[in-house]
């Protein structure tokens, strides 16, 4: 067993108490195993792995802050984030954590601006972990770390200090999210509809919350991860691709599809049309061979990215037609109305 795996497993023991309570409160009596399956097999292991990967990254940074030494751990942490990045509920939404963990898209360049200011001032905030937690969400997390590790102009003693601060701050947030789920939010989802649970008043609300994550996650990958670099036919914007500096734009698309499929099948395993649509989209992503989606600037490359985008939209349509009705939920009555 590797060190990372050992770390990833540790939180499960801490979880046992929470699960026993959840069982006592009636989880076992629920008619379907849908939400518990997603919480147990998708969400909790995902956050545990993300926490472990960022812990590893922070420890490595403390040992050696050079980009060459840190890039593998950076990629592992980013991979682990994409496995849970579509989950925008609970602890990750508190204190702006999701934004700070990966501040993208950033149409006004706030990330680069914040980083430039920190470096220009050699801001001592980088040596104070508590104060660093209050730095703008644009100047923390994976996107800032990406710049520090992949922009050759950013070297020297302060860049090293900042790299360590950002990595430690990232590990702190990942641990808080992991603990937040284990220490309460998982129970809220698992005990939906039970007396005293004012967050999820019915099992349908918990189901709808997770179904919404699936649909908005698919939208984000199609509209933002692919849509931003696609821009318009007259004005493609390859420079807007996510994680372009570290060469992982397409990788994030592929990993997000895998993560969303994991959520879909835990939520509702018997979903053949959705699973087939995922398989098609994932095959297109694999075949694309355009790591930073630079092809959007050429007619042929653009067409391939558009075909992938349409395939992801088809996954969404399949999930809405197949999984939503079987779970007895749809997107919000008012959220979808838009007026």
Partner 1 sequence: MATRRHILAGLLATTLPRLGWADAGNPAYLAAAQGAGGGFDLHGLNAAGASLFAIPLPARGHAATAHPTRPEAVAFARRPGIYALVIHCVTGQVQARLTPPAGRQFNGHGCFSQDGAVLYTSEVVAETSEGRIGLWDAARGYARMGEWASGGIGPHDLRRLPGRDVLVVANGGIQTDPDDRTKLNIATMRPNLCYLTPEGAVQDQVELAAEYYQNSIRHLALGPDGAVAFALQWEGDPADPVPLLGLHRMGTSARLCPAPEAEAYAMQGYAGSIAFDASGGLIGLTSPKGGVVQIFGAEGAFIATHSRPDACGIAAADAAGFIVTDGGGTVSHLTDSGFAPLCRGAAAWDNHLVPLAT
- In whole angstroms, how close is the CB of 97 to partner 1 at the nearest point? 8
Q: For the segment 95-124, give every residue that binds partner 1 (CB under 8 A).
A: 95-96, 99-100, 105-108
Tell me 311's DSSP state: H
- Contact assessment for residue 294 and residue 250, using Cβ atoms and an 8 Å cutoff: no
- In whole angstroms, how close is the CB of 335 to partner 1 at the nearest point? 4
Among 69, 201, 276, 283, binds partner 1 (CB under 8 A): 201
Q: For the segment 227-286, give every residue that binds partner 1 (CB under 8 A).
A: none
195 is an interface residue for partner 1 by CB under 8 A = no
Tell me, rounded to whole angstroms, the distance of Cα 103 from its chain centroid: 11
Q: Which of 307, 327, 306 shows the shortest CA–CA distance to 264?
A: 327
Given the complex with partner 1, which of 17 and 328 has the nearer CB atom? 328
Applying CB under 8 A, the site for partner 1 has a residue count of: 30
Among 82, 162, 209, 315, binds partner 1 (CB under 8 A): 209
137 is an interface residue for partner 1 by CB under 8 A = yes
131 is an interface residue for partner 1 by CB under 8 A = no
- The 3-state DSSP class for residue 191 equals coil
CA distance 3 to 8: 9
Span from 53-61, 143-151, 202-210, 308-316 in contact with partner 1 (CB under 8 A): 202-210
Distances (CA, A) of 195 to 27, 90, 188, 321: 13, 20, 11, 32
- Contact assessment for residue 175 and residue 55, using Cβ atoms and an 8 Å cutoff: yes
The residue behind tokens 């991860």 is: 225
Given the complex with partner 1, which of 18 and 139 has the nearer CB atom? 139
Asked if the bond preceding 105 is cis, omega within 30° of 0, the reply is yes
- In whole angstroms, how close is the CB of 155 to partner 1 at the nearest point? 29
Length of the chain: 339
- In whole angstroms, how close is the CB of 201 to partner 1 at the nearest point? 6
Count Cα atoms within 13 angstroms, Cβ side, for 128.
8
Which residues of this chain interact with partner 1, rule CB under 8 A?
89, 93, 95-96, 99-100, 105-108, 136-138, 198-199, 201-202, 204-205, 208-209, 212, 224, 332-335, 337-339
């Amino acid at each position: 067993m590797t060190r990372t795996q050992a770390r990833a497993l540790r939180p499960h023991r801490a979880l046992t108490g929470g699960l026993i309570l959840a069982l006592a409160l009636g989880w076992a009596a629920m008619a379907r195993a849908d939400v518990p399956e997603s919480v147990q097999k998708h969400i909790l292991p995902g956050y545990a792995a993300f926490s472990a990967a960022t812990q590893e990254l922070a420890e490595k940074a403390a040992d050696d802050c050079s980009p060459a030494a840190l890039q593998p751990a950076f990629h592992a942490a980013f991979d682990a984030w994409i496995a849970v990045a579509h989950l925008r509920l609970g602890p990750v939404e508190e204190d702006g954590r999701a934004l700070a963990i990966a501040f993208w898209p950033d149409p006004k360049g706030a990330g680069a601006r914040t980083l430039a200011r920190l470096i220009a001032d050699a801001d001592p905030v980088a040596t104070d972990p508590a104060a660093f937690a209050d730095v703008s969400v644009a100047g923390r997390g994976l996107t800032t770390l990406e710049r520090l590790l992949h922009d050759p102009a950013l070297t020297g003693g302060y860049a090293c200090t900042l790299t360590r601060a950002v990595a430690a701050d990232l590990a702190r947030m990942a641990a808080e999210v992991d603990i937040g789920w284990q220490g309460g939010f998982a129970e809220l989802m698992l005990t939906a509809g039970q007396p005293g649970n004012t967050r999820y008043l019915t099992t349908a609300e918990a189901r709808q919350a997770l179904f919404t994550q699936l649909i908005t996650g698919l939208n984000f990958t199609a509209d933002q991860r692919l849509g931003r670099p696609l821009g318009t036919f007259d004005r493609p914007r390859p420079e807007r691709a996510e994680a372009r500096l570290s060469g992982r734009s397409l990788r994030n698309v592929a990993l997000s599809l895998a993560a969303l499929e994991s959520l879909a099948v835990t939520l509702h395993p018997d979903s053949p049309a959705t699973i087939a649509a995922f398989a098609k989209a994932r095959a297109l992503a694999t075949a694309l061979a355009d790591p930073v989606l630079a092809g959007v600037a050429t007619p042929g490359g653009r067409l391939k990215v558009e075909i992938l985008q349409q395939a992801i939209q088809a996954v969404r349509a399949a999930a809405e037609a197949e999984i939503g009705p079987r779970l007895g939920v749809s997107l919000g009555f008012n959220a979808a109305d838009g007026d």
